[in-house]
Amino acid sequence: MTDSKTQTALGRDLMARLDEAARHSRPGPGVTRLFCSDEHRKVLELIADWMRQAGLTPELDASGNLVGRNARAMAGEKTLILGSHQDTVAEGGKYDGMLGIALPLQALQALKEVGIELPYGVEAVAFGDEEGTRFQSTLIGSRALAGTFDPVSLEARDADGVTLGEALKAFGGNPEAIPQLARKPEAVFGFVEVHIEQGPVLEQRDQAVGVVTALTGIERHRICVRGKAGHAGTTPMPGRRDALVGAAEMVVAADRILNATPDFVGVVGKLEVRPNAVNVIPAEVNFTLELRSPDTTVREQGRREILDSCQRLAQARGLELSSEPTYQAEAVACAEWLIETLEGACEECGEPAERMFSGAGHDGLAMHDLTDIGMLFVRCKDGLSHHPDEAISIEDADRATRVLMRFLTNLGSKARSRS
C-alpha cells in the first residue's frame, strides 16, 4: 500500500468514477441531478455496475434508493449500512453526496480484490433524495430505511405539478410499499457516511480527513421589524422610525454574537423591505435568521441572546419587533464507538484526524433514528460546496479510501461484539 507507483491508484480510480457519474447531469454549469429524473435513472445504472464489481447485489427499492447487499446481508446477518445521496442542488458539484457512494464501493472492491471477506453484512445505499431540490422534501430515502417516512411527503409537487408519488411510480418505485422498507434496529449495527467537509476546517488544519462527532441542530426564524414610512426628503433624521436601519443593526448584532460563541454559526439570508421605494423611509422589514450548533444548549442560549439584543435595538429606535420560529431539527451525536474506530483507522493509515462537527445536515439525521451513526469528512478545496468548482484531490481521495478500508477490516471484532 506504500509503493510509490500504486500510492494514488485508488484515488485515480475513484476520481475517474466521480467524473463519469458527473456526466449524468442536466445541461449547464456544474452537476444538476434531481430525484426520479432521467439523470437519476442513468447514474443508477453506473452505480449498480460499481456495486456488482464490489461483490454486492443491487436492487432499486420502493423509495427510489439503489441498495447493494453482500451475501451476509442477504442472508440476514447483522449489517453495516454505508452510503450517501445521488441527488444534487441546481448547478452543484461532483462530490457532494456522490463521494459517499463511490468511495465505499471503491473500498469494498479493493478489499474483495485482495481476498478480504468482511465478517458481517454490508449494505451500500445510493439514497435517492437528500437535497430536496425537486420536491422540497428531504431525506426521503433515509427516512424510509429508518421507518420515519411521512406519507404526506408523497403529495409534494415539483415545479411542473408532478407529485412525489407520481414521480416515484414512473421511476419504478412503489409508494405504497415504502413502510415495508423500514429496517429492524436489531438487524443493523451502524450507519457510516463519507462526505466532503463542505467547509474550510480540514484545509486550515492541512488534514485530508476528519472524524465527525455530531450533525448540527438547525433552527430558523422569521423576524418582522415595523417602523413608520415617511418622505425621505422632508422627514428629519432625528426621530425617524426606519425599520431597515433597525434591521441592519440587528443583523450586525447577530453576526457579533455568532462570532463570539464557539460551535455556533448562523446567517441572515433573506431580507424583504416594504415599501422598498427609493425615496420612502422603510416601514417594515422581514428577515430570516438561521442558527446551527451541534450543542442544543449553545444554540438555545445563542438564540435568546440574539433575540434579546434585537428587542433592545428595536426599543431604542421606537420599532415593533416580532419573531416566529419556522423550522427546527435537533442535533444528533455520532456514536462514540464508531468515532473511536474511525480514529483508529486514521491513525493506522498515518492520517491525523481531529474530531469536528458537521455544520450541515446529512442522511445521518434520519438514520440516527434507526441505528448508531458515524461520519468521515474529506477535505475539499477552499471549503467550497454546492458549486460547480467543488473539488477534492486525487491524493485525498486515495487517503480517505484507505482509511475506510482499514475501518471496515477493523470493524469485524466490534461487529461481532454488537451482534
Instruction: For residue range 98-153, list pLDDT tens digits in order.
Output: 999 999 999 999 999 999 999 999 999 999 999 989 998 889 999 999 999 999 99
pLDDT at 315 over 90: yes
CA distances from 193 to 105, 110, 290, 367, 372 (A): 12, 18, 25, 10, 12
For residue 412, the model assigns a pLDDT of: 83
Bin 330: left if φ > 0, else alpha if -120 < ψ < 50, else beta.
beta
At 224 the pLDDT is: 98
Q: What is the pLDDT of residue 95?
A: 98
Q: What is the mean pLDDT of residues 206-210?
A: 98
In this structure, are residues 82 and 158 in contact, taking their beta carbons and an 8 Å threshold?
A: no
The per-residue pLDDT for range 17-35, each reduced to its tens digit, is 999 999 999 999 999 999 9
* pTM, full prediction: 0.86
Residue 18 has which C-alpha cell? 466521480
Q: Is the distance from CB of 39 to CB of 26 less than 8 angstroms?
A: yes
